[in-house]
Amino acid sequence: MTFAPPLELPGWRHTYSGKVRDLYVPADTRDEAAPARLLVVASDRVSAFDHVLSPGIPDKGVLLTTLSLWWFDQLAGADGGRGIPNHLASDDVLEGDGTAELIPDAVQGRAMLVRSLDMQPIECVVRGYLTGSGWAEYRAEGTVCGIPLPEGLEDGDRLPEPLYTPAFKAPMGEHDENITFERSVELVGAETAAALRDASLEIYRRASATAEAHGLILADTKFEFGFDAEGVLTLADEVLTSDSSRYWDAEAWRTGTTPAERMASFDKQIVRNWLADNWDKQGEPPALPAEIVERTRERYATLLRLLTAS
C-alpha cells in the first residue's frame, strides 16, 4: 500500500514518515541529527495488521492531535509541581536569529511543534487489563510478557495491578520486541530504566483515573520518552490517543457478558474486526466500506468529547 507523498510545508523539510504520522525538521536545518525542534504531523491515515489502510478516516489527524494536546496539558497540570514534563514547544518559538517556527496553515490542528529530544529506544507499555497480545500469551502460557498472572482470568479482565511491559523500539517497518525490565536496564542503564517504568506507571495511574471519571476505561497504552537539553526525562511522541491506547466504555465493561460486549472500544477495533471478517491477511487489505470509516470517525470524536467534557 503506498500513500500520498508527505505535504510540502513552508519552512519545514520532511525527514521521516511512520504509518500514520510524518516528521519534519526546520528547512534551514544543517544537521538533521540535532535540530532544535521538530514538527510532528498526524495524517488521516489508519493502520491495522501492519498495513496502512484506504481510505483514511476524515478528521483523524485533528481528533487525535487534539486529544494528545489535551492529555499533555492535563498531565503537566499545576499539582504542586509534580506535573509530567513534555516535549511541546509553543508555536511562536523564536530561534536565536529571531525566526519564528510556525505551524503551517495546511496542518493547523493536526501538527505539534515539539522540542527535539534524545529519544530513548524503549516503547513504555502499561497494561491495566488483559486483552490483545497479552490475552493470547496468557491463554498459552499463563503470563503476559513473561510476567506470571493468577489463573482463571478472562479476556478483558482487569489485572491485579497495572503491568509495565517495555518493548525495544525496532527500526521502521519492523516489530517492536517485548523485553524484560532487566533487559531495558541493559539497554538504557538502571537509573533511566527505573525512571521510564516509574513515569509510565504514574502517567497510567493518573490517566486511568481521569478516564474513569469520564465513564471510560484505559485498558492499555504506550509512551515514548526522551531527555531534553537539560537532561530532564520528557514525555514525547503522541500520548493517550486511540492509536497508542485502548479505551473501553466502563458501563459496557461492567454489564457486558461477552468480550465483544465488554470491550466496546473507542479505538480502531471496528476496523480490526471488519478486516478480520473480510480479509485473509494475504496481499493488500481491501478498502474500508464507508460505514466502517464513518463509525470509526464517530468513535474518535466521541472519545474526545467524553474525555474533554468538564
Ligand X SMILES: N#Cc1c(N)ncnc1-c1cnn(Cc2cccc(F)c2)c1
Residues 56-95 that bind ligand X (CB under 6 A): 87
Return the residue of 25, 52, 114, 216 that touches ligand X, per CB under 6 A. 114
Q: Which stretch binds ligand X (CB under 6 A): 75-83, 113-121, 186-194, 209-217?
A: 113-121
| 110 contacts ligand X (rule: CB under 6 A) | no
Q: How far is the CB of 20 from ligand X (least distance, A)?
A: 8
Q: How far is the CB of 51 from ligand X (least distance, A)?
A: 17
| 288 contacts ligand X (rule: CB under 6 A) | no
Q: How far is the CB of 115 from ligand X (least distance, A)?
A: 6
CA–CA gap between residue 184 and residue 170 (Å, rounded): 14
Q: Which stretch binds ligand X (CB under 6 A): 110-118, 127-135, 240-248, 273-281?
A: 110-118
Q: Give the per-residue contact string, 215-244, with ligand X (x = CB under 6 A; - = no).
A: -----------x---------xx-------
Q: How far is the CB of 130 from ligand X (least distance, A)?
A: 28
Contact call for residues 57 and 221 (beta carbons, < 8 A)? no
| 117 contacts ligand X (rule: CB under 6 A) | yes
Query: To 5 degrees, how large is the angle CA 306–CA 57–CA 12?
Result: 100
- Number of neighbours of residue 27 by Cβ within 10 angstroms: 12
Angle between helices 190-213 and 181-188 (to 10 degrees): 130
What strands lie across the sheet with 37-42, from one edge to the other?
12-17, 21-26, 37-42, 111-115
| 162 contacts ligand X (rule: CB under 6 A) | no
CA-only gyration radius of the chain, Å: 20
Tracing cell 463509525 back to the chain, one arrives at: 295
Is omega for the bond preceding 104 within 30 degrees of 0, making it cis? no
Q: Binding residues for ligand X, per CB under 6 A?
A: 16-18, 21-23, 38, 40, 87, 114-117, 119, 226, 236-237
